[in-house]
Amino acid sequence: MNIITLIAIHFTLAHDFHLCKSEIQYDREDRAVEIILHIFTDDLETAVLATHDEELKLFTDQPHPDADDILVDYLSSNFSIQEEGHLKPWTYLGIETSEDLAATLIYLEISDTDQPESLRITNKILMDIFEDQKNLMVLRIKGENAQYKMMKQQEINYEWKL
């Protein structure tokens, strides 16, 4: 890539708001809670650099060799799910870039679990980096849909009872 292309990509991907969307749903057939985190890639890179002093360089020719481990460490400190007071450990499945190349899609899963009756979700992703950060939660369980917006000035936990 030449320098003009890199500059054009930078200005195309720049954004004036900070939003992370988390989609959480239960898959009965697989007996798993499936989680997709949509995070602007530049924001994610900024957060990891600030908290881990490492550049991930996601979706480049030379990504950090430990990018997945660093990402899991960052997420483990900032995203958790509890059911009935018990932490439900998630498994990191991988990442991919969004179609517009602006966001990173992160896939997590809580496997071998019954359909939850309630979930307590803690989502601090990017909250320590951007004052205007908003984390949108979209939940789909038992045919029910719920949305909740978390902001830095508010509670970073969301409890959903079915």
- Tens of pLDDT, residue by residue over 23-33, are 999 999 999 99
In a domain, 62, yes or no: yes
d(CA 5, CA 2): 5
pLDDT, tens digit, 9 for 90 and up, residues 63-84: 999 999 999 999 999 999 998 8
**Burial 114-151, CB ≥16 within 10 A → b, else e:** eebeebbbbbbbbbebbeebbbebebebeeeeeebebe
H or E segment to which residue 4 belongs:
helix 3-13
Whole-number pLDDT of residue 144: 78
Domain region containing 112: 16-161
In a domain, 8, yes or no: no
In a domain, 4, yes or no: no
In a domain, 3, yes or no: no
Burial of 87 (0-12, 13-18, 19+ CB in 10 A): exposed
In a domain, 102, yes or no: yes
What does the block give as tokens for 39? 């995070």
- pTM score above 0.75: yes
In a domain, 5, yes or no: no
Name the nearest CA neighbour of 43 among 90, 89, 97, 103: 103
Total number of residues shown for the chain:
162
Q: Domain tally for the chain?
A: 1
**Burial 43-55, CB ≥16 within 10 A → b, else e:** bbbebbeeebebe
Give yes or no for residue 59 having a pLDDT over 80: yes
In a domain, 2, yes or no: no
d(CA 20, CA 98): 13
Give yes or no for residue 9 having a pLDDT over 60: no
In a domain, 92, yes or no: yes
Give yes or no for residue 159 having a pLDDT over 70: no
Identify the band that residue 6 occupies on the pLDDT scale cut at 50, 70 and 90.
very low
Whole-number pLDDT of residue 50: 93
CB atoms within 10 A of CB 18: 19
d(CA 5, CA 62): 18
Give yes or no for residue 19 having a pLDDT over 50: yes
- Of 42-56, 59-73, 93-107, 138-152, which gets the smallest average pLDDT? 138-152
